[in-house]
Amino acid sequence: MTASNSNDLKRPAIIINPAKPVEVDVKALAAKHCSENGWGEPIWLETTKDDPGVGQAKEALKQGADVVIAAGGDGTVRCVAEVLAGGDVPMGLLPFGTGNLLARNLGMDVTDFDGAMAGALAGTERKIDVVRARRKDPDKEQLFLVMAGVGYDATIMADTNEDLKDKVGWLAYVDAGIRNLPGKPVRATITVDGNEVVHRGIRSVMVGNCGKVQGGLEIFPDAKMDDGLLDVAVLAPHHGKFGWLSVIAGMIGKGRGKDTAVEYFQGKSVEITLEHNDDYQLDGDHDGEGRHVLMTMDPGALTIRM
Ligand SMILES: [Mg+2]
């Protein structure tokens, strides 16, 4: 590069998990696209077990990155979004994860790394909603982009065999679910926009910002990530071994309203209080247990460039 003053050039930051094998030379890919677009050298930041992306995203902003590219899976994307949401710097995506749920929901071709890199530098921008989830005990606020939940789906996130999850996605969750049966429903109080909608035993509450999960299954058929609304699915299967099969069948068949085992709600906020602690997950990562969470929409808070 022969630019007169490299300080004038735009620079992307690339946040990557060095432990994950990637089938492409990311440094060469980035160098090629930076050169083609007249950008400076990328700011290269690697995640660690202790800091899976938040510290690196803050460092990227500190160094003046013009776009922060989350090169990883939904976990990396979520951590980078924690820092970028509410700000002006856009996020780019290099979908190197197994699920890549955000990228898929955005309609990206998750096998086209060249296109993804080009889009992150010179693509079009769109604003998407993020959901802020505030928990009591442990007292923390986190953000998610795809879906979060308490109860059964979080249990299977924790339990799912990773190799299986890589290979077969959602089916692995179902497999884990079958291994987890039988369990007891937990009594839950759920309010949507301040109105109590559920007060009974449930197995799982899933809150979505996007509709699609792996395997073509749409848990939230009507979810849009830019409508300022979150989608809530309450799963309370009928008792017995085949109860879950009816839930899954209901989802696949989008059997909305036909099967009371799955109830859907939409709103700007949802508050979930359980009778006792249960598993909790955010964008597919298990994050301990809890019995309370308040999830609130932050409309259009994150800019994606793709
Ligand atoms: Mg929405």
* Rounded distance from Cα 106 to ligand 1 centre (Å): 13
Which residues fall within 8 angstroms of residue 174, CB to CB, at 6 or more apart? 248
Return the number of other C-beta atoms located less than 10 Å from residue 180's C-beta: 15
Q: How far apart are CA 13 and CA 91, in angstroms?
A: 10
CA of 302 to the centre of ligand 1 (A): 13
Element containing residue 127 per DSSP (H, E) = strand 125-135
173: left (phi over 0), alpha (psi -120 to 50) or beta: alpha
| Segments making up each domain of the chain, as ranges | 6-123, 130-300
Half-sphere exposure of 81 (CA within 13 A, CB side): 29
Spatial separation of the C-alpha atoms in residues 112 and 138, rounded to whole Å? 39
Ligand 1 centroid from CA 112, angstroms? 26
Cα 178–chain centre separation:
24
Q: Mean of the pLDDT values across residues 23-52?
A: 96
Please give, one letter per residue, the 3-state secondary structure of 146-212.
Answer: CEEEEEHHHHHHHHCCHHHHHHHCHHHHHHHHHHHCCCCCEEEEEEECCEEEEEEEECEEEEECCCE
In CATH, what class is 130-300? Answer: mainly beta
Q: Residue 86 — left, alpha, or beta (φ > 0 → left; ψ -120 to 50 → alpha)?
A: left
Q: What is the whole-number distance in angstroms between the Cα of residue 224 and the centre of ligand 1? A: 4
pLDDT, one tens digit per residue, over 147-160 is 888 886 666 555 55
The distance of Cα 237 from the centroid of its chain, to the nearest Å, equals: 25
Q: Which of 38-42, 43-47, 92-96, 243-247 bottoms out in mean pLDDT, i.e. has the lowest?
A: 243-247
Residue type, 49: K
> How many C-beta neighbours within 10 Å does residue 31 have?
15
CA 34–ligand 1 middle distance (angstroms):
34
pLDDT for 245 equals 59
Domain 6-123 bears CATH identifier 3.40.50.10330: yes
Cα of 159 from ligand 1 centre, angstroms: 28
pLDDT at 284: 77
How many percent of the chain have pLDDT more than 90?
57
pLDDT at residue 303, rounded to an integer: 98
Per-residue pLDDT reduced to its tens digit, 194-206:
999 988 888 888 8
| 256 pLDDT more than 50 | no
143 CA from centroid of ligand 1 (Å) = 14
Mean pLDDT (the chain, rounded): 84
- Bridge partners of 189, per DSSP, are 199, 273
Cα(19) to ligand 1 centroid in Å equals: 33
